[in-house]
Amino acid sequence: MSALALAPLDLDEYAAALDARLQGRSPQQILEIAIRDLFPGQIALVSSFGAEAAVLLHMVAGIDRSTPVLFLDTGKLFDETLAYRDEIAAQLRLADLRILRPDQKVLAANDEAGTLWFRDADACCRIRKVEPLERGLKGFAASINGRKRFQSATRSAIPLVEVDGARLKFNPLATWGPQETADYFRIHDLPHHPLVAKGYPSIGCAPCTQPVAAGEDARAGRWRGQDKTECGIHVSPLPSQTRTLDE
């Protein structure tokens, strides 16, 4: 699949064309096309090392373990997440794990006491996740993430490929459900995040993540009781119609 043969000038059109061409492909096939054919050396995997992250990390490592993996260390994560990150990174022999952290000067000016999450969760996510990731993604033409449609109502229509600011975002596991994920863990003998067994099917920062009850969306424990469902890293910062593939 040639990037040049598919690429119109408008980034939205390019994303839609890729999305249409990739329908019916397996996650591994989508990743191989994205990493090897379309964006060699220009794509990164963004991973939380959360409840289901090992699946995508394992797939990417099997294709090219030198693919950069971007991890947001917000300073508010569970200790279990940090330990799990180190375990998976060592097991998969990830060659380019990049730890992204918030700007210390910005934290000092806006969250010196470390309680911004309680007063303004959106501002906290912006400082600790959105801004560090945008810095970390500079120079990349595309990114990969593990969002799935079954995880919540707000994710039920995510495409395989979408526009994210001035780059493309691949969602190779979008069509997978809980069974496919569980089967992959079992077949490849991947270790689970230790908090999964304690009722955390979706794991973010410790102050804003709670266990989920039976029958709830997988992400129901994130920002529980607030009118908030995403941290902001999966919301395009600019109107995509103004950009082209060459930008």
In 3D, which of 45, 74, 55 has the Cα closest to residue 231? 74
Residue 35's identity, in one-letter code, is I
Name the catalytic one among 125, 205, 208, 231: 231
Expressed in percent and rounded to 5, the helix, strand and coil fractions of the chain are 45, 10, 45
Residue 247's identity, in one-letter code, is E
Please say if 208 is a catalytic residue: no
Ordered DSSP codes for 185-247 = HHHTTPPPPTTGGGT-SS--BGGGB----TTS-TTTTBTTTSS----STTS-SS-GGG-BTT-
The residues that are catalytic are: 231
